[in-house]
C-alpha cells in the first residue's frame, strides 16, 4: 500500500532520502558560513563550542553576528557592558529574519573538493 500523498515520508536528511541537507541551498549556506568564518571571525572562533561563543558578543568586539539565540539576550543588556549606552539602551540592533527565496537560480552550490552542484 502506498503513502496517501503518493510519496513516502522522508526517512533521512539527504536529498536522496527525502530531506534537503545536501540540497543546493543547504550546501551554499554552509560554504558561505565557512568562508565568512575564515575571513571575518577571530581565529579562536573556529574552535569554540556553542556555549563558549554565546556570551562573546557582550564583550563589545563583534560588529555583526550571523546567528542569534535568545538565551544569550540577557547577557547582552547588563548595565556597564561595552555594548550598552550610558542611558541603559543597547548600542546594538537586531535585524529582522530574512524571508523570501534564499536563492533564485543565480547561484551554484559548491563544496570544497566536490565541484559544483546543480543551479538552485
Give the span between the Cα atoms of 92 and 117, in whole angstroms: 37
Instruction: Look at residue 99 in the predicted model and tell me its pLDDT.
Output: 58
Closest by CA position to 37, among listed 61, 78, 16, 66: 66
Instruction: Look at residue 110 in the predicted model and tell me its pLDDT.
Output: 44
Instruction: Look at residue 88 in the predicted model and tell me its pLDDT.
Output: 92
Give the span between the Cα atoms of 8 and 85, in whole angstroms: 54
Instruction: Look at residue 8 in the predicted model and tell me its pLDDT.
Output: 59
Q: Split the chain (120 residues) into runs of 10 and give each run's mean pLDDT.
A: 56 77 89 90 87 83 72 84 92 72 48 41
Q: What is the model's pTM?
A: 0.51
Cα dihedral 78, 82, 43, 93, rounded to 10, equals: 70
Amino acid at each position: 500500500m502506498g503513502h496517501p500523498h503518493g510519496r513516502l515520508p522522508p526517512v533521512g536528511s539527504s536529498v536522496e532520502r527525502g530531506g534537503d541537507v545536501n540540497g543546493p541551498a543547504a550546501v551554499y549556506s554552509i560554504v558561505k558560513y565557512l568562508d565568512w568564518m575564515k575571513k571575518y571571525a577571530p581565529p579562536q572562533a573556529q574552535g569554540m563550542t556553542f556555549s563558549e561563543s554565546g556570551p562573546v558578543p557582550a564583550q563589545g568586539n563583534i560588529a555583526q553576528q550571523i546567528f542569534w539565540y535568545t538565551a544569550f539576550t540577557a547577557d547582552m543588556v547588563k548595565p556597564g557592558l561595552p555594548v550598552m549606552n550610558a542611558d541603559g539602551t543597547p548600542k546594538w540592533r537586531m535585524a529582522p529574519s530574512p524571508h523570501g527565496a534564499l536563492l533564485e537560480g543565480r547561484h551554484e552550490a559548491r563544496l570544497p573538493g566536490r565541484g559544483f552542484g546543480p543551479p538552485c
